Amino acid sequence: MNEDAFWALIDELSSRPGTRDERLEWLEGELLRRPAEESVAFQVRLEKACGKADTHALWRAADRIEGGRCTDDGFHCFTLWLVGQGRKAYEAVLADPDELADLPEVRALVGRHHDDWDDDEWPEWEELDYVAQDAYDELTGQEDDDGEEFLDAVEEAEEAEEADEEGEEDEERGASGPEGWALPRLAALFPPGPSGS
């Protein structure tokens, strides 16, 4: 599965109607129609996309939206959610995290207390991280191995690209100068204080 094929699946996922669970069922069905190696390749692409989104500037944007409550695990789930918004939104936000202010899913949260956000509204999507493993386990009959074979296969596939990925991650993490910290539109939508906390 190349990058374009990965994003074609993600773009279809992001545009489908229904709840997140229903959309994940669709994605799992799509992966089940393919060889097991495609589930491994999907997970490699997903982890790579999340790795590129792992920047200080984007963490600050996520923390702003979540009212200062964005933990390390929560931020990983935020990057999964961002990938799930589709390629166009993902690339725009990577270029400028303040572009999150234009996403309808983010705007729907403005002015509402975090306790009032439904699970399907919260900008985190942990379950997206498990779809490929579920499909792989079903295709290979490995449901009882706690995902070990899948994780080994993903690790092996990632090792083939490790040098490139490390260089890109270092570059992304280092690219967080003053311009990367300015989030004027998000700050206007999610001001600090009791209303958003």
Q: What is the pLDDT of residue 162?
A: 72
Q: What is the pLDDT of residue 173?
A: 44
Q: What is the pLDDT of residue 169?
A: 47
3-state secondary structure the chain: CCHHHHHHHHHHHHHCCCCHHHHHHHHHHHHHCCCHHHHHHHHHHHHHHHHHCCCHHHHHHHHHHCCCCCCHHHHHHHHHHHHHCCHHHHHHHHHCHHHHHHCHHHHCCCCCCHHHCCCCCCCCCHHHHHHHHHHHHHHHCCCCCCCHHHHHHHHHHHHCCHHHHHHHHHHHHHCCCHHHHCCHHHHHHCCCCCCCC
Q: What is the pLDDT of residue 170?
A: 47
The pLDDT mean for the chain works out to 87
Segments of the chain scoring below 50 in pLDDT:
169-180, 195-197
Q: Say which residues have a Cβ less than 8 Å from residue 160's Cβ, sequence separation at least 6.
A: none
CA angle 74, 78, 79 (to 5 degrees): 120
Q: How far is CA 101 from the centre of its chain?
A: 17
pTM confidence score? 0.86
Q: What is the pLDDT of residue 180?
A: 44
Q: What is the pLDDT of residue 196?
A: 45
Q: How many Å apart are CA 137 and CA 132, to the nearest integer?
A: 9
Q: What is the pLDDT of residue 140?
A: 92
Q: Are 88 and 81 in contact (CB under 8 A)?
A: no
Q: What is the pLDDT of residue 82?
A: 98
Q: What is the pLDDT of residue 175?
A: 42
